[in-house]
Amino acid sequence: MCGIAGVIGGGADVRRMTAALAHRGPDDERFHGDLLGFRRLSIIDLEGGAQPMRGCGDLWLVFNGEIYNHRELRARLANHAFRTRSDSEVILHLYEEKGADCAKELDGMFAFAIWDPKAGTLFAARDRMGKKPFVYRHEGSRFHFASELGAIEGDRRIDREALDHYLALGYIPAPLSIFEGVRKLPPAHTLRFDGERVRIDRYWEPRLEAVRESEEAYAEKVFYAMDRAVAKRLGADVPVGAFLSGGLDSSIVAGLMSQRGPTRTFSIGFGEKRFDETPWAREAAAHFRTEHHEARVTPKAADLLPLLVLRHGEPFGDASSLPTYLLSKMTREHVKVALSGDGGDELFGGYLRYSAIRKMAGLRKWPAPLVRAGGVLLRPWKTNYGERVGRLLARPGAPLGELYADLVGIYTAPMRVALGLPGAVETFLTGPFQAGGADPVAAASYADLVTYLPNDLLAKVDIASMANGLEVRCPFLDREVVDLALRIPSDLRKGKRVLKRAFRGLLPRSILGRPKQGFGVPLSEWLRGDLRPMLGDSIGSLSKRGILETAEIRRLFDEHQSGAADHRDRLYLLLVLELWAQKFLDPVPAAG
């Protein structure tokens, strides 16, 4: 796990770019001339895995991630001469043999670039699910890339389309970035730069192909697929631990780890009981007999926001990045690698919104005026969830894809138009929803798998963990597990039905029977209390920038503070936007 950077064609300083990634790789720093830079977090082959790495010819590699099937690939490449035990070298030899198709063979999390000086080409690839990032700027004969947006040099003009996506979703999806001219390579894509043009190709796409089998048969397959996924992610030359929230997914991962030997687990909690999962985490840790560590989050955690904004390099509105950062910081004090439960909800139907969209599909049998009347009754509810459900009930005849986009959205299209933005983001979500098929639960979970998971959850975990020099691995996103889950009919995945059956012999009953609890923070209380001064200052500063229309900003702030409405998510996005503007748009004060 590392930080990579590169400059082809000049126009930027690769050493400055690499220095901006020092937190991702605190163990080593190396360069290939003024072209490639590398910061290393040593996990496998601590002595021999240094980069940039040269192949048998003139190829040079920089690679961020882990390849779990590198031993199997090495055996298949027996005709190649290997100099190290590292998974990095396997990529080089595989590229020498298969070219761009090498990405299809790799099982792991990765973002890498291979420079071929003879051909004058750069080849890059990103893993299937989007666990590792790759951002780049292309201007004519110049091509710059890095692991994080903040390391990319050049003009910094706001991309209004990206800003529209940010306020709608809370994140900016690939290929967009907040900066004009800077792009993110999407998951499961390769890139080739030939000195002038950039070509991007998709090499894999998740496919829903439901195959009817018994629940028991699928439960057995899920158990063994997850057990293999956990086992392959324990491979490291450094200590490995596990995040443990006390929820179903993280408990499965920790439980499977504990069957293979002594396990260290880590959890984070809050003083507010309705957000605190540490009692459940303690129960799971006691059941699995792990060495358990925990810490608490207070409103003071908001002091970390400027640092997280700097690491993301663009506005990122998921407030759970704060506890994720603190969890990673505590975990890094004990281990270098941690396993997480990310992906379980998307693959096995864990989110409450899946139930909501299924019910909305069922309400189509009811008279529309009656459904709208229910929406009117819900509108005054001063809760975030009540408002969203009320919006859905007000449009009972709308396509389900549009209702799903409205359900998961933060700022509605009319709100974004009032802020001076295009307000046309919903198609980003409705396309994947439609690709998920006619079943509303399968469609929503598929849409989350290809939008929310890579652009929000995995981006959050990558930034928060790598800011602390911690590698996080996700067994649920194993290639075998993903392919298997997408074959299971949605009625067996709904509410994690088949997952619970698969692990009923491993988990305590209390964990199996727990309702879904998100990894959230008490934002509403914080924004009316400890964070109110910071929010007020940020709203005032943002209003003067001219980025957004001020009247709408003020309305949201006043309604939240008076208690007339709950705009916590919307105001948090504005707070982060202003902190980002201070870091990346304001001029740096002159020294002295």
- Is residue 492 within 8 A of residue 217, CB to CB? The reply is no
297 forms bridges with which residues in the sheet? 270
Q: What angle do CA 151, 157, 158 make, to 5 degrees?
A: 100
Torsion sign across C-alpha atoms 391, 392, 396, 400: positive
Nearest to 582 by CA among 542, 530, 531: 542
Residue in this structure with the two tokens 């997408």, named with its chain if needed: 486
CA distances from 156 to 181, 575, 580 (A): 9, 20, 12
Residue pair 501/530 in contact by the 8 Å Cβ criterion: no
| Nearest one of 88, 92, 45 to 67, comparing CA atoms | 88
Q: What angle do CA 378, 383, 385 make, to 5 degrees?
A: 75
SS3 471: strand
Enter the DSSP assignment of 179: B
Distance CA 451, CA 454 (A): 6
Backbone angles phi, psi at 530, to 5 degrees: -60, -35
**Inter-axis angle of helices 440-450 and 400-408, nearest 10:** 50
Tell me whether residue 31 is exposed, middle or buried, using C-beta atoms within 10 angstroms of its C-beta: 0 to 12, 13 to 18, 19 or more: middle
In order of 90, 299, 343, the CA distances from 226 in angstroms are 25, 36, 12
Quote the tokens at residue 430. 């409705």
Residues with catalytic annotation? Answer: 2
158: DSSP letter: B
Torsion, CA 128, CA 129, CA 134, CA 136, rounded to 10 = 80
HEC profile for 342-389? CCHHHHHCCCHHHHHHHHHHHHHHCCHHHHHHHHHHHCCCCCHHHHHH
Handedness of CA 176, 178, 181, 185 (dihedral sign): negative
